[in-house]
Structure 1
Amino acid sequence: MRPFALFTVAVRLLVASVLGRGSPAAANQDSPHHRTHFQQLIAGNPNYFGNAPDSGREPVFPLANNINYEELTSVGFNPVLKTLAATISVKLPSGFNGGLCSSGSWEYVRFWVDYGDAIWNNIGYVAVNTHDIPNGLDCNNTSQKPLQYALVIPFDPATRNCTKPLFPLIRATLSWATVPPEDPGWSPVWGNSLDQHVQAPLMTDSSSAFQEIPVVYSDLLPVDNVTFSEASVFPSHTIHESLSAIRHSASSLPSPGQIPMLDELHQVAGDISYEELISLGLDYKQNSLVATFKIKRPSGYGGDPCSNGTLEYIAFWADWNNTCEHTFLGYQTINVHDFVDIPADGLTYTATMPFNTDHLFCNRTKIPRVYASLSWQSAPPVPPNFPTWGNWLETHVQLEPLSESAGLIDFIGDVLLSHIDVVSSGMTKSGAMYIDGHLTDPWCDGQSTQPGCELGLRHAPFGGLIKIKALMTRPGYLYRLMARRLPLPTPDYEGLPVMEDIVVTDLTVPWPFSPRVRYVPETGGYFKYLTSQQNAEHILSYWTPLSGDWQIRLEVAIGSSHEHVDYSPWYTIRVNNQPPNGQLLFDTGECSDLFVGDTLRGKFSATAQYFGVFTISVTPWDKIRSQVKPSIGYKQVPPDVNGQPAADWSLDTNNSTPCGFVAQLRVWDLTVYGSSPYSHLEYGLDRGFCLLKAPALI
């Protein structure tokens, strides 16, 4: 192993021991039985491993933050795509509930953000499917373990003026086989947590939000079919002398929170005292490599946040077929600045490189070797050559196996096509998931015993803006989305083209221009296929239909005559844009007054065509000592024959604080609305009341 690799491993182990939560001893005292029977053990006793004390059960085998099988290694923010990325390392060949042709297991990462007020705000969670994959060696006789996975979630943080930048603290928790609860202090049995500061975007001129005319930047497009061997050298660029002087003038500054590098390693690895590439993984749901790097110092980056700053270049290569010949995929740039008040743990950023490759059948395992190289202010040389400022990483990733080749459409409303009944109902299937691993029915996980959830996951229609996506791209061809209402007016009716604009993130647009580009369909509804880098989210079409049953299909054409060369099947999609409804009444009338110790009673209803859940709550919650009954329900509660609410609700006010309160009814449906796992059709109703001191206390 190279000296640089040995040093990197040592640093990673040290950082893991510092950041990992829980006892190091506990992390190594597991047994295979506790892994293979994990679900059965916690089903019998939620506190079996000691991390669910609120269950009231005694622990049997205390175990927390075990990182023998998987480990969360980095968290970073992409200011271009507005996403957070967590990279996890899967270390062992077994312990993941089966091989690639089985359902395997799931790794979950939940994120929180603290804006500096010591309050953790839940962002959400994402998931990735993992399997038992045997150990192997690549063409360079290097172990293919660990495998690196990137889990990506949308995150649009608060912004600040450049004179007062904001550094949110992100907490991420990795948990195997169970979704982390919304408690930022919770410790997983299998997995770990990391805290890391990121830089929130700076306020910019909104006039450059969109480029209405597509622009092709040919000099920044990925180079097709360019390969290099292990010994070849890609020409490096010389850093401009004035920029190099920036670093020399700041070289005496301390590197806060960092372990000093040995001089000889500086010479071998490039200088990583200012920036360092710390992880590289694959977001295989979106065919993208994700590299995370850390900025370490308060200066040396070309100017404060109100200046142009400088650029960090991240280049990507891949050896898809284990031949030790690497294809150059392209590079991305991230704008960085001097921050005099940089947090002690530095700031982490991620760069994303979408790519275009075929999917594989489930009985084939493909473990490519991938490279990323970080270089300040110039394109990096090809590994194994090091940049002057920065470093490179080599990792192994797993391409997602599918039971069939990718089609012309892979996702509808950000839901996997295979998870939708596109033949008959047009609704999601039981257990359907979004791209990021979220269930389309977030309230019933298939194991719940709550009334309304006994049969497992329910089926959902689609609504709002429905995004149509495909991972494969066909540069040089055109396509259009056709739509038709059901029932068909005639058996041979071909429908109408969808004529909505699309907005994509073009990673080839050079800084400082906006990467958000709007495309208008050509005559007949046709769009040109974009490259993966020109269309980072793989968007084909925006579609905002009316409620009802529809069918859609994609047509592929070539040439100015639009000669059709391929078609997808007609896919049935049910659309619902009708929000839920509900009523909430007090028995004593609206805006009631009552005394501490009284029980507030009333009637309610909660309905939806595709019902999800209702909640009844009271705010401010910290002044009420009991909970509304019922506080939550998974079955709709209809009104009586006269349209009046017929179900009872109540609130015991004993020991509560006199105050003005609001009773809140919320009703959500199951509709996959706006192509987002965090958006469903919702109804809300608020009723106020006053709680007074009891007469005996006056």
Structure 2
Amino acid sequence: MKSLNEKQLLVARQEFTSFMSLKGAELSKLKLKTPGAFFKQKMNTTYEALGCVGYHAASKSLTATIHIKRAIGYSGGSVEGTYEYVRFYLDYQDGDGWEDMGVVGVNVNDIPTQKDCSDAPGKPIDYVVELMIEPKREFCSVPNLPLVRAVLSWNTIPEENDPELTKGTYVWSDKKDVQIQIEPRKFFFPDFPLFELDDILSKAIFNPSLSLNQIAQIKPQYSDIIKNAQFKMAPKSLSFSELVKHYKKEKVAPQRFGYSFLKQVSNSPFLSNFKDLSSLFEINNISIAEVLAQLNKLKCNTEYEELICVGADYHREALVGTIKIKKSSGYSGGLCSAGSKEFVSFWVQNDDDCEWTHAGTTTVNVYDIQNVPEDGLFYSAVLPYSFLGLKKDQPKAQILKVRAVLSWSVAPTGMDCVNFGNVVESYIPIQPKTDWSGVGPKLKYVGGISVEKINPSTGLTMANARFDYNALPTKENSGFSGVIVVKGLTNEFEGLKYKIKTTNLNTSEEQYITKRFLLDNDLFSTVDDDGYFTYYGDSSNNSNNILARFSPGTDDKLRITIEHPDDTSYSTVIQMNSTRPKALLTINNYGDCSHFVKGMEISGSFEVAVAFLDYYLLTTTITDANVFEIERGETSKIGEFSVTSSETKNCGSITLKAVPRTIVNSVTMHTGVHDSEIICLKDA
């Protein structure tokens, strides 16, 4: 098919959604301007493309950078814009193939291209999506280097379990494969004091409300045991002499493996430190003068590592850099050692005065790993950062310029390139200002849904509600169950106090949340003597702005209220739906499943009792059809059914499935419940 020109491509973007949602006669009535054959093509990256894919070990998250290339073609006439989705797959190369890890999305809009402070066009815009996973882990003696496949798709969610892209339609799409390294397990080194920890671990398991610090105070010797375990768990850094021996065969230059030692001395005002290091080099038959001469020639060296992408996580307000590790050695030790660190320092430019602000520095651990693939290993460096002071009053995403400096082993001190590392600049999106009066607290998300998308009367989700975690759509009029996560403004009040109160609107019972809860950075938030929690913001790595986690375990309507000591407050209402859905299937005369004769009528009854039911579906595989739909409905029901069995099949099943409109644990929709019976058929 002949390629479309710019104007035709934009028309194709506008018509894409209609084409995907309609078929046959309905589609022909649309009289599309775009040839239908165009929508059968795959992997058009004119408007968006995958930049980098990596893995962040500290948060156990896969990341993907999305390049938004154009100024228009993303809103489709909608104020809310459209969505870019990325589905991730992992292959541990153990013969089991690709494993679907899930999908995450991000909102994008038409954003006019503006000139930056250097008069350069501010494109592409680099969004980053992150997906938390629970990867398989190995001990440090075995490298764990799975393949990652990321599949990008605009405005359509990539099909589940479709790593080869054979099921779905991937018109505006992209795919990228990389290899990553999963951090090894830290327990059970040969001399780890496991038996000494037995009592402490038992108390921690059976008393989960106790912190390790509280357990250490029970007996004096507990504190010593914990300190000893911490020492044993901490991987050891190799000495200079050990590095010399370690890299003799690998032919790693001393200016590389001795880099951190040389930088420490060069930054020291004491001549004695230099003399000590010089003696250490001489003992190992290395001329420190020659090494320094070689080091001084190095600038922006990317032989070992390279920063290749920089973007912003639009959901969590974090800066993300993707690092490519290129060699198998030269990183100060293997997986069982401390290895070394890659430092990434971020700078953000204020487009009002063109001044650069240092956002901070973050690190990732890297190691010597045998058989690093030719394409390298990919690591993500993530820095939570509050853009509060840079946000403007505008309805859509704001674009800023960011500069990232990579430096191996030693933190960079400025914006310029260092010996080992490089510099990357890009344009990033930040969220618009929250609609907030500036007085009193503000809730943003409850149960994973924006409070603006929860009906204040019914407590159910409204149309076009989406999960804040991954931007995936929810069902309209959905209730809530499981763990309720409360999020709000945290950076604005960091260090101040608040309370969370629940009011049962069915019983009028009120109670305050007093149980400690976990933030996403392994930090527990606890109440003080007056019943107040403390605000934790980005400086505490609470980039998800979590204010509470609790499990109401009710089917009642609740009002969630956040209160400040000055009597200001903010509330929202949610409708709980905690009772397990009921789907019960009964087959008549089912005493012996093998007694059914081929071709006979099989009957039975079913019961569906589900609050906020999305649909129920009764199907069978005992007819000549592959799957035969007996009945479908959208309201709870007690009913009967009958179906004529196949005259050729020997067995099949009858299945009843019921799916509620319920949000589970603030992160996903309920997948439903089912009841199924096996039917065996025999000749007459």
Question: TM-score, normalised to structure 2's length?
Answer: 0.75
CA apart distance, 1:113: 2.2
CA apart distance, 1:594: 6.4
Separation (CA, whole Å) in 1 of partners of 2:53 and 2:334:
24
CA apart distance, 1:275: 1.9
| 2:170 paired residue number | 188
Separation (CA, whole Å) in 2 of partners of 1:24 and 1:65:
16
| 1:10 paired residue number | none
| 2:504 paired residue number | 485
Q: What amino acid is the match of 1:193?
A: K
| 1:156 paired residue number | 134
Deviations 1:374-433 (A, max 9, x none): 2222212322x1132222221111222357248621111121221112x21111111210
Change (3 A) 1:636 1:175: same
Aligned-partner SS, 2:530: coil
Which of residues 136, 144, 161 in structure 2 aligns to 1:166? 144
Moved more, 75-84 or 159-168: 159-168
Residues 504, 536 of structure 1: 8 Å contact kept: no
CA apart distance, 1:338: 2.2
Which of residues 511, 530, 536 in structure 2 aligns to 1:530? 536
Q: Which has the larger radius of gyration?
A: 2
Q: What amino acid is the match of 1:465?
A: V
| 2:586 paired residue number | 585
Which of residues 265, 271, 285 in structure 1 aligns to 2:315? 285
Change (3 A) 1:38 1:686: closer
1:670 is the counterpart of 2:668:
no
Deviations 1:67-100 (A, max 9, x none): 111111111122211221111011111112368x
| 2:67 paired residue number | 89
| 2:574 paired residue number | 573
Residues 409, 468 of structure 1: 8 Å contact kept: yes
Separation (CA, whole Å) in 2 of partners of 1:461 and 1:478:
30
Change (3 A) 1:58 1:318: closer
CA apart distance, 1:579: 1.0
1:361 is the counterpart of 2:393:
yes
Residues 443, 571 of structure 2: 8 Å contact kept: no
Deviations 1:190-226 (A, max 9, x none): 12111122223422339799993799xxxxxxxxxxx
1:687 is the counterpart of 2:667:
no
CA apart distance, 1:439: 4.2
Separation (CA, whole Å) in 2 of partners of 1:48 and 1:272:
56
Q: What amino acid is the match of 1:80?
A: A
| 1:499 paired residue number | 514
Change (3 A) 1:28 1:691: farther
Deviations 1:558-617 (A, max 9, x none): xxxxxx236332211211210101112334516612689657845433331121344667
Change (3 A) 1:480 1:112: same
| 1:233 paired residue number | none
Q: What amino acid is the match of 1:140?
A: S
| 1:639 paired residue number | 638
Which of residues 426, 449, 452 in structure 2 aligns to 1:395? 426
CA apart distance, 1:335: 2.0
CA apart distance, 1:648: 4.7
Aligned-partner SS, 1:31: helix
Change (3 A) 1:362 1:126: same
Which of residues 64, 82, 105 in structure 1 aligns to 2:42? 64
Aligned-partner SS, 1:32: helix
Aligned-partner SS, 2:637: coil
Q: What amino acid is the match of 2:561?
A: R
Residues 89, 149 of structure 2: 8 Å contact kept: yes
Which of residues 93, 113, 130 in structure 2 aligns to 1:135? 113
| 1:518 paired residue number | 524
| 2:211 paired residue number | 212
| 1:431 paired residue number | 464
- Report percent identity of matched pairs: 26
* CA RMSD between the two structures: 3.9
Deviations 1:177-202 (A, max 9, x none): 22222222226211211112222342
Aligned-partner SS, 1:59: helix
Residues 498, 534 of structure 2: 8 Å contact kept: yes
Which of residues 348, 351, 362 in structure 1 aligns to 2:381? 351
Deviations 1:613-645 (A, max 9, x none): 446678xx9x998533228956245224xxxxx
CA apart distance, 1:155: 1.3
| 1:19 paired residue number | none
Aligned-partner SS, 2:430: coil
Change (3 A) 1:487 1:196: same
Which of residues 298, 307, 315 in structure 1 aligns to 2:328? 298
Deviations 1:302-355 (A, max 9, x none): 323233222222222212444332222222222222221333432222222222
Q: Trace 1:448-459 onto structure 2 (pairs within 5 A).
A: 457-459=475-477
Aligned-partner SS, 1:192: strand
Separation (CA, whole Å) in 2 of partners of 1:214 and 1:480:
25
Q: What amino acid is the match of 1:466?
A: I
Choose between structure 1 and 2: higher helix proportion. Answer: 2
Residues 360, 403 of structure 1: 8 Å contact kept: no
Separation (CA, whole Å) in 2 of partners of 1:651 and 1:432:
43
Residues 349, 356 of structure 2: 8 Å contact kept: yes
Which of residues 417, 424, 428 in structure 1 aligns to 2:451? 417
Separation (CA, whole Å) in 1 of partners of 2:170 and 2:644:
36
Change (3 A) 1:148 1:251: farther
Separation (CA, whole Å) in 2 of partners of 1:377 and 1:685:
57
Q: What amino acid is the match of 1:583?
A: L
Residues 479, 661 of structure 2: 8 Å contact kept: yes
Moved more, 301-310 or 73-82: 301-310
Change (3 A) 1:315 1:691: farther
Aligned-partner SS, 1:331: strand
Separation (CA, whole Å) in 1 of partners of 2:367 and 2:643:
56
Change (3 A) 1:244 1:633: farther
Change (3 A) 1:647 1:84: farther
Residues 623, 644 of structure 2: 8 Å contact kept: no
| 1:372 paired residue number | 404
Change (3 A) 1:670 1:40: closer
Question: TM-score, normalised to structure 1's length?
Answer: 0.74
Residues 551, 573 of structure 1: 8 Å contact kept: yes
Separation (CA, whole Å) in 2 of partners of 1:367 and 1:179:
26
Residues 27, 64 of structure 1: 8 Å contact kept: no
CA apart distance, 1:24: 12
Separation (CA, whole Å) in 1 of partners of 2:67 and 2:647:
50
Change (3 A) 1:35 1:666: same
Q: Trace 1:117-128 onto structure 2 (pairs within 5 A).
A: 117=95, 119-128=97-106
Separation (CA, whole Å) in 1 of partners of 2:560 and 2:154:
37
